[in-house]
Amino acid sequence: MNRANKNVLVVGGAGYIGSHTTLALREAGFNPVVYDNFSTGHRDACFGTTLVEGELSDRDRLVSTLRDHDIDGVIHFAALIEAGQSVVGPLPFFRNNVASTLSLLEAMQETGIRRLVFSSTAAVYGNLPDGKPLNEGLPRNPVNPYGHTKSMVETMLEATASAHGLQAIALRYFNASGADPQCRTGERHTPETHLIPLIIEAALGTRAAIKIFGTDYQTPDGTCIRDYIHVNDLATGHVAALNNLFETDLPGIRAYNLGTGTGHSVREVIDMVRRISGRDFAVLEEGRRAGDPAILVADASGANRDLGWKAKHSGIDQIVRDAWNYALSAQGESFRSTGS
Ligand code: UFG
């Protein structure tokens, strides 16, 4: 396959995972075009990649973009992502993540583009009692509106695949974290709700303390366990999925977990930030946050088997080190932690 001839529309490509993936696509020889409304994404994270400013809901703009750039395949990242926020304010999640995705699917159908990689999530599984690694054969049973929106889109893709020959891969991410080791791009959400950047803010002194949401879970130290996956591993997962779609030409939708198979508790992550940063900070124990499953850990053997993908940069020490160095570089500090 000659990747230089493959034009890929990266919807939401100016965001956290999108910007790392766009860099990885370029490095793999694809020709990405970023489509973003820049509501949460950043132009300066795109490094000279062709940008198209547009809304996910704007079907006509999507149709003209797909035609004008002679697009061969699409990666769809654009979504609201905070699971906790989706519990207190669900409607924007259904509007953005579900309703607006219809415009993209209609635009793809109208232009005859069949290959799609979709950003799904571990949140589609919900709260499974035994805490074992989750495999893709499990039923989808989300416990928060965010997870429902991603599950609903997977259902839309299944129906579109059987009716119209869509060829889709849904990548179910576990906890995206870390940053580009060269600090070209990283995690910049406003407001920030994710654990690792919040702990780093506490270590930097820009946040008074880190709050632990729940210390009475059925886990060894009472705090939630998550499978943290380096954003660069997610990026190579998208490249592998796209390669697979172009090489196999398989109809239908397949779902793959992107994770490491190893979980870390909130307390373990806090300890790792202390170790990497060499700084101490206050920790407050709070009640549970609504919509949080106790344990989410991936069985990622499917992506390894079918896509030849494996996480390579996702040790929790490397994740925290890259996130820490990115936060320092964003502050303009020259110091780089090498960890210990
Ligand atoms: N947490 C705290 N304090 C904080 C923030 C988070 O204790 O200040 C805890 C949460 O309760 C949770 C864990 O840290 O137990 C991780 O929380 P995040 O908000 O960082 O991430 P989530 O697990 O809620 O969700 C993330 C993505 C979702 C994705 C999910 C998959 O935001 O899009 O990972 O596991 F679906």
Residue among 81, 141, 195 to mutate when testing ligand 1 (max atoms within 8 A of CB)? 195
Report pLDDT digits (tens) over 34-93. Answer: 999 999 888 888 888 999 999 999 999 999 999 999 999 999 999 999 888 999 999 999
Which pTM was predicted? 0.94
Which helix H or strand E contains 115, and what residues bound it?
Answer: strand 115-121
Q: Which residue has the tokens 């925290």?
A: 320
**195-226+261-330 CATH:** 3.90.25.10
Pocket test for ligand 1, best of 77, 96, 194, 292 (most atoms within 8 A of CB): 194
Residues labelled catalytic? 146
Residue with tokens 């996130």: 323
Residues 6+ apart with CB under 8 A from 180: 20, 23, 186, 231, 232, 322, 326
Most ligand 1 atoms within 8 A of CB, residue of 77, 218, 226 to mutate? 226
Return residue ranges of the chain for CATH 3.40.50.720: 3-177+229-258
Residue spans in the chain of domains classed CATH 3.90.25.10: 195-226+261-330
pLDDT mean over 279-290: 96
Q: Determine the atom of ligand 1 nearest the C-alpha atom of 223.
A: 15
Shortest-distance atom of ligand 1 to CA 196: 20
Q: Quick: pLDDT tens for 225-265.
A: 999 999 999 999 999 999 999 999 888 999 999 999 999 99
Residue nearest (by alpha carbon) to ligand 1 atom 15: 224
Task: Look at residues 91, 109, 105 and name the one whose alpha carbon lies nearest to residue 157.
Answer: 105
CATH of domain 3-177+229-258: 3.40.50.720
Residue 48: DSSP 8-state: T
Provide, rounded to the nearest whole percent, the portion of the chain with pLDDT above 90.
83
Q: What percent of the chain has pLDDT over 70?
A: 96
Q: Which atom of ligand 1 is nearest to the CA of 291?
A: 24
pLDDT in tens, 118-166: 999 999 998 776 778 999 999 999 989 999 999 999 999 999 999 999 9
Answer whether 80 contacts ligand 1 (Cβ < 6 A). no
Q: Which tens digits make up the pLDDT trace of 260-279?
A: 999 999 999 999 999 999 99
Residue 293 has pLDDT above 90, yes or no: no
Q: Which atom of ligand 1 is nearest to the CA of 150?
A: 36
Please indicate whether residue 174, judged by its CB atom, sits closer than 6 Å to ligand 1. yes
Nearest alpha carbon, ligand 1 atom 6: 195
**Minimum mean pLDDT among 97-101, 157-161, 309-313, 333-337: which range?**
333-337
CA-to-CA separations, 143 to 108, 151, 324, in angstroms, rounded: 30, 11, 31
Rounded Cα–Cα distance for residues 82 and 98 (Å): 15
Ligand 1 center to 65 CA (angstroms): 34
